[in-house]
Amino acid sequence: MFLRMAPKDTFLLSADVVASLVAQNIVDKKPSGKQGLAATQAAFDQWQQESGLPLSHISRIISYTVK
């Protein structure tokens, strides 16, 4: 949250974002280790390249996909 207020474009690993990442088989639980965080960063980097949107927007959009 601090980085967003800084302002630094970043994603948030909210419960909904993590649930979406798990549903898409990017991670199997909330990323906390090197491997999970690297997989999460790679996914967000790819989505940013494909969409041209800031990471904060992608994070919010992904959170809306969870029921």
Tens-digit pLDDT profile for residues 10-58: 888 999 999 999 999 999 999 999 999 999 999 999 999 999 999 989 9
Residue 4 pLDDT: 56
Where b means 16+ CB within 10 Å and e means fewer, 14-35 reads eebbbbbbeeeebbeeebeeee
Integer CA distances (angstroms), 19 to 5, 16, 23, in order: 24, 5, 6
Which residue do the tokens 């419960």 mark?
15
